[in-house]
Amino acid sequence: MANLFDKVLEVLKEDQRFFAEDGTFLRNAVYEAAMQMDAELIRMLLSNKETKERFFQDIDGTMVFDKVGFGWVINNRQFLPDSYTRFKNKIGLADETGELISGTGKVELVFPYKDCVLEGGQTREDQKRQEIFYNELLATDEIDRLLFPKVLTNAVLYDVDGEHVVKEIKEDDNLILRGNNLFALATLLKKYEGSVKCIYIDPPYYFRHTSATDTFKYNSNFQLSTWLVFMKNRLEIAKKMLCKGGTIWINISEDGMHYLKVMADEIFGADHFVGTVPRRTRSGKSDVPFNFSQDFDWLLVYTNVPDSQDVIGRSVERQYYETDDYPGRPWRLADLTKQTTAKERPNSYFTMIDPKTGKGYPASEKRTWAVTRETFDYYYNQGAIVFPDDYDFLNITKPYSRKFKEDDDRSGKLSAVISDFQMQAFLHDVLNGSKNADGNTQIDELFGRDEFDYAKPENLIKAILDVASSETDIVMDFFLGSGTTAAVAHKMGRRYIGIEQLDYIETLVVERLKKVIDGEGGGISNIVNWSGGGSFVYCELAKLNQNFVDEIEAASDAKTLKDIYSRIVKSGFISYKVDPSMINEAADDFEELSLDDQKRFLMEILDKNLLYVNYCDIDDEEFGISEKDKAFTRSFYREG
């Protein structure tokens, strides 16, 4: 492949369009020329035997240019490799090629974390555009035990009496889990598969452009394909978590919504797409592109059942009457007409006579009775028809149907949620009562400082849980952030599972939920009459190579990284792609790399299958799992 790259470069040097005055190769200019089938470029490639054989195919005497294959070569990192790429190749870490997302089977491990103060050397907020993130895509052949269930450690129960060491987890315990959410989801799958009623996530957004007004403290300079792989890996597991009739609500920005919609259709099925809900994020800005202020983000909603099933709805509040003729059987009125014409249902187009008074009530030609001439007596004798003169307290002018409360309770049918402005309560919450500033205010009130920017407000999560879950249902959020989903679920009597990786899970999420247990009065507390109580269990995935990851991110000098390098090699927990015989030989080359490239390299040589301790290795003494953690982990997996 290297010879091919050299040959392509040699051919391209014939055209000055592809090189700057200082000799810099203009990769994008070549790529654009290829995509536009530039005649001069094609002539040059045809004039060379090697490039002609590589990029052209003879079809019935016509040479056809493989512009996609040529574009791949031009954009491949091995073409004009930098010092870092040469160093990687020296010890065996080859670069990956690109494929269609749907067919790659790749796994995205690390990604910039949303709503957080970044680590890994960043010291100021304004550095977020330059910060290096060590995200990595793993190919299928690199994955061995990557998504095996993991060991759990440091389990603590929090309730109204404080903090307690916990030896086992109970079926109705709420759970806050710290760790990479991909590994955490795979771990939870063993226990909670098919059990979750509602998932809400607010993942890192994809941005086409970065700007000073980005509302999240993370670097958005990532390829769209990488972001989609990141989302795909997690949504595929999340789908398995949903119980029958469960829903997942994905909060997403304008830039990424349509790309994600296409991929999510493939994962959940286009026929399982419930709908799109807008959320107002702000009240408008003037300094915006095209002078158009985009003030919304969006919720994509999916389920796992056909559209004939009611997966979303509100509890129906109806007025019932109690009368002497039906003791102990409250009833209500319902429409007795049907949206069919006299021509469509001639048997339902008749004058209905009140047997008691003899008064007649003719049907409408455009909307006939819901009963027929033949069935009228049956329904009347069952008490299913009410006439205007039957009760003095009724103010009606035509016959109605009688529905008994016992039948309503038995059916359990919920009222529909309308996705336009007619649905006053739901749309008021997501269009007017769920702005980013509202979430900020709630965090400020809880902690007295700007601890976490752009947390989602409690009103938004309440609006979703109102229509997508009931008390005791399990709610999940695997991008937990500031803990809003868990806090709202706790106050609303739902069970919940929250996943977060960063340090603020302890300083913010756990502390916030402790305040909820103590009866804090912010957010939705007054609306739901929250006064405190309940409990939750906090635990962590047991780290192995993840400890090295944390150290690498925090390192700020070459000496520290050199020490980490030495300990990684000594541990033996390195990638199978690394040639051990080349490690010592490459030591001097490693020191020549920039600090960022040194960090990136160390991240890549770690065996990602061993970021956390696998459950199957729980008794391996090398991993040092305590007896307490062993007991808790086994209780989690219902063993021991």
Model pLDDT for residues 301-355, shown as the tens digit of each residue:
999 998 888 788 766 567 889 999 999 999 999 899 988 899 999 999 999 999 9
By mean pLDDT, which of 85-89, 213-217, 498-502 is the weakest? 213-217
Q: Are 140 and 105 in contact (CB under 8 A)?
A: yes
Dist. CA 114–CA 205, nearest whole Å: 8
- Phi, psi dihedral angles at 413 (to 5 degrees): -70, 135
pLDDT at 142: 76
Model pLDDT for residues 563-578, shown as the tens digit of each residue:
999 899 888 888 877 7
Q: Which residues contact 556 (CB under 8 A, 6 or more apart)?
A: 121
Residue with tokens 């999916």: 302
* Band (286; pLDDT cuts 50, 70, 90): low
Dist. CA 316–CA 329, nearest whole Å: 18
Structure tokens at 575: 């990638």
Q: Are 488 and 462 in contact (CB under 8 A)?
A: yes
- Phi, psi dihedral angles at 306 (to 5 degrees): -65, 160
Model pLDDT for residues 365-388, shown as the tens digit of each residue:
999 999 999 999 999 999 999 999
The dihedral formed by the CA atoms of 462, 467, 471 and 474, expressed in degrees to the nearest 10: -80
Average pLDDT, the chain: 83
Residue with tokens 């690390």: 110
Q: Where are the domains of the chain?
A: 2-80, 180-307+418-519, 331-409
Other beta carbons within 10 Å of 250:
23
Structure tokens at 395: 């103010």
pLDDT at 227: 85
By mean pLDDT, which of 218-232, 243-257, 421-435, 533-547 is the weakest? 421-435
pLDDT at 441: 56
pLDDT at 65: 93
The H-assigned helical ranges of 539-626 are 545-554, 558-571, 580-583, 587-592, 595-605
Q: Are 458 and 530 in contact (CB under 8 A)?
A: no
- Phi, psi dihedral angles at 493 (to 5 degrees): 80, 20
- Read off the DSSP letter of residue 510: I
Q: Which amino acid is at 231?
A: M
Please provide the CATH number assigned to the domain covering 180-307+418-519.
3.40.50.150
Residue with tokens 């700020």: 556
Q: What angle do CA 193, 194, 196 make, to 5 degrees?
A: 95
Other beta carbons within 10 Å of 131:
16
Closest-CA residue to 372 (of 397, 395, 342, 392): 342
Model pLDDT for residues 113-132, shown as the tens digit of each residue:
544 333 333 334 444 444 45
Q: How many CA atoms lie within 13 A of 393 on its CB side?
A: 6
Dist. CA 209–CA 220, nearest whole Å: 8
